[in-house]
Structure 1
């Protein structure tokens, strides 16, 4: 069904005076997804903090053969920079491999169920990481690959969830709420893992994050359903509103996938390049910042974990604002296409400037300020490309997310490998400078590429016989329908 003016649009229920936001089931799904992402990234990044303790020399009591004990500096894992880079990057070998599989499975079996399985399985692997890591470094690599494989299905799964649960003009808001869990996870995980590692040892990082993620997965399986009609607790008004607003645009698992059109579509590649750009900068900071703080800025492990989390405080706060603000701009001033381009390109340019400035900074305050600004404006880029697949091909959104993530997560492999070659000496400022300069250049390339090829309209190859709900449901025409539901 296609709507040509405001009077044709489905109306939200207005008669229920008790219609509060906590009674909107789609927002409950978004909030629980927020905690899901928070746990996923806690599991993903715990090694970035723990590895500092695992590979650093620490004072330990050693018992000699004659029975006497002495205090000595002991290094539990003696890994060179290249092996360290392989350990940090191993997660992404698995993560890349299951993106398209996750998209296929979510279309066939439902995104919500698979999202929960992905988090639960990676939590179980996290719990057995310490004993296996002590046996052999390659057991650790294998576990991280398995964790990556199970987490690889999660992002495509959530796009499948939004294709069933998110009205078109709430997509940015709902996705931004959920995605902000990534940054809250980083804000919480980095300092807590630093403190846990310093007090209880690095193994505590894996036990705590694994148990919390496992507990969350139980709640997710109990509360969240794949489709509104499968949820016994959703109101009839909300379910009817969601169905009406998504008429003709939700995913159909029996629909054939136009692979050739997808793979030759420049707007699809624009999203993939944008995701790769942000991910390269994100993973560079994620995996290297605790080490940079400790080795170059001379903070101890707990301080390094705490301070490396500060940039993500800005991200977590701005993610809550960015989605609503972008939708407001779409509703009042710009089309979806121009809003996506404006916010993403502006954010990437700001990030390029900030990272470039970091490469010439010598004070910890200046470095932190630049990184906080960079991570904060990233929220506008992520809120733009994060739902762009739903703009250009809503019924193929999970497939596109799988393709985009497969390409973009190469950044997770490239970043630690590149850092391992560039930063051979942890105390050498020029080596860190080269790494930051390369990251800055990638941001500028991403801004230019998306600015040329990005789009916000349903693509011709994405229209099916049911006639998709297209750009006609632009925010200028649907501004009032989100007010109450």
Structure 2
């Protein structure tokens, strides 16, 4: 059945008694096509432009009390009209050969992206808890700024190793299973963090490294899973929605953690977020599959829509891509350098923003959390906007290469300029505005290098994501520790902000010279 657009039909579900063998004019009038003259002919609705709407009638049951179901398919969503004595839900269920009612429901791919967005929110919230909790812990144990950088970076020690392995595992076993194991393990590490801090700094560093090891699989799992479940013209929006959840995790963590620290103590936020991970697993394991073809709940029309919009619809029996060949192409290095630069700036702000506001403007911990949360909240919105804009440009037939370069240029040049201006901020409000601009514009990278991995290597995106993410994690370790030493030696954040802005500008130039939206591997 072909997909019809424009115009989009308005489908109304109704029940009728009587002879199901014929459709009356009254019954056909319930299927409305704005500005179109429709007739029922040989099981097909044809409009005046000559386009066809998928439309078929199925006889369910026998005798005069039988039921006819007229099903109309568009935009990957099925709708039904039944005629007879039985309910729409049971008729549709019998027609598809499954139990239970099937009515007008949310497409399965939307359910997948909703669960993915939630777990990405949890992923980042679990990270941020330590960024806030480290302030009272440092005061309690007398940690220096340089040691704070070591504690903050310990998460990345494990993260750097699991990115490559996690990417390869995702390509082999799929995003569902790898993500589930990752969430289970990082929730355990989150629960153990306050206990380790009370025991010794060595235990704390070990648990944080294990936490990073578990979280390293989240990004490649998300990227690969969404590429399987969404057609190419919806992929940027799906990634934007998932990353919006990721950035909202910063807001949730920054706002809830100070409240729970003051009311419950250090164990409070860690216990809460680890419990949420286990609750999420109860929905994820039975509700999601690695590939839409494996889903028992997806409609035929939605599966057809997804498959028609993908260039890589058959991920089976993929040959291993040698690392030497992967690294021999400049588009690969464009992605690697972009990931390094993005992580450099991202983790500087993620790890040091509360400390920055407290040190530079002498605000208390709760105020610092509020000033830090605002930029992450706007980043969630701007990231989704970047995704929908990217999809709209691709639908308008702009070259994918051009779209990726535009998005990534905004994602690097904008934050670089904002960080330079941050050196001249005189109030916490001005600083918060500039950080908001920097993070909001950096979210355009989600429609740049993050999606470009699927463009150049659709069958090896997990592996490529792991390689680039490991390089990005190394950059994040250097920037997180380096910020602490710069602040301790020079007494201010200004020098490091200038260095970060310069890196943004240089990588933007390299990206525009060598990135491509064409398939390379």
TM-score normalized by the length of structure 1: 0.84
- Which of 11, 25, 39 aligns to 2:108? It is 25
Q: Does 1:45 align with 2:109?
A: no
Is 2:115 aligned against 1:54? no
1:377 pairs with 2:441: yes
**Where in structure 2 are the equivalents of 1:239-388 lying within 5 Å?**
239-246=303-310, 248-332=312-396, 334-388=398-452
> In the alignment, does 2:497 pair up with 1:436?
yes
Which whole-Å CA distance do the structure 1 matches of 2:330 and 2:132 have between them?
38
Query: How big is the shift at 1:447?
Result: 0.9
Q: CA deviation at 1:198?
A: 2.4
Q: Which residue is 1:98 aligned to?
A: 162
Which consecutive residues of structure 2, in runs of 5 or more, have no partner in the other structure?
1-49, 55-71, 81-101
Aligned Cα root-mean-square deviation (Å): 2.2
Q: Judge which range, 354-363 or 232-241, deviates more.
A: 232-241
Larger radius of gyration: 2
Aligned to 2:143: 79
Q: TM-score, normalised by structure 2?
A: 0.79
- 1:71 matched residue in structure 2: none
Partner secondary structure for residue 361 of structure 2: coil
Provide the C-alpha distance between the structure 1 equivalents of 2:214 and 2:426, rounded to a whole number of angstroms.
Answer: 40
* 8 Å CA contact 2:160, 2:473 repeated in 1: yes
Separation in 2, partners of 1:135, 1:336? 52
Kindly provide the CA deviation profile for residues 126-167 of structure 1, in whole angstroms up to 9, marking residues without a partner as x: 111112211101101000111111111222222331332121
List per-residue Cα deviations over 1:28-55 (Å, max 9, x = no partner): 1111110111011111121000001111
Residue 251 (structure 1) shift: 2.7
Unaligned runs of 5+ residues in structure 1 are 1-6, 57-75, 463-485
Distance 1:250 1:310, change over 3 A: farther
Which of structures 1 and 2 has the larger relative contact order (alpha carbons within 8 angstroms, sep 6+)? 1
Alpha-carbon distance, 1:20 to partner:
10
Distance, in Å, in 2 between the alignment partners of 1:33 and 1:176 is 11
Provide, for residues 261-309 of structure 1, a one-character-per-residue CA deviation record: whole Å limited to 9, x for no partner.
2111111111111111111111101110101111211211111111111
> In the aligned structure 2, how far is the partner of 1:203 from the partner of 1:417?
26
Deviations 1:443-485 (A, max 9, x none): 11121111111111111xx2xxxxxxxxxxxxxxxxxxxxxxx
Question: 1:4 is matched with which residue?
Answer: none
Q: Distance in 2 between matches of 1:234 and 1:136?
A: 50
- Contact 1:115–1:157 (CA under 8 A) maintained in structure 2: yes
Q: Is the contact between residue 78 and residue 299 of structure 2 (CA under 8 Å) also seen in structure 1?
A: no
Q: Do the aligned residues in 1 keep the contact of 2:78 with 2:301 (CA within 8 Å)?
A: no
The question of whether the paired residues in 2 share the 8 Å contact of 1:191 and 1:307 is answered with no
Partner SS, residue 142 of structure 2? coil
Higher share in helix: 1
Q: Secondary structure at the match of 2:349?
A: helix
Asked whether the equivalents of residues 22 and 28 of structure 1 are also in contact (C-alpha less than 8 Å), the reply is no
Check 1:398–1:197 CA distance in 2 against 1; reply closer, same or farther (3 A cut).
same
- Does the 8 Å contact 2:148/2:484 carry over to 1? yes
Distance (whole Å) between structure 1 residues aligned to residue 421 and residue 312 of structure 2: 48
Question: Who is 1:189 aligned against?
Answer: 253
Secondary structure of the 1:16 match is strand
* Cα distance in structure 1, aligned partners of 2:346 and 2:369: 16
Residue 220 (structure 1) aligned with residue 303 (structure 2): no
User: Contact between 2:240 and 2:387, CA under 8 Å: does it hold in 1?
Assistant: yes
Distance (Å, rounded) in 1 between the aligned partners of 2:313 and 2:304: 15
**SS across alignment from 2:183:** helix
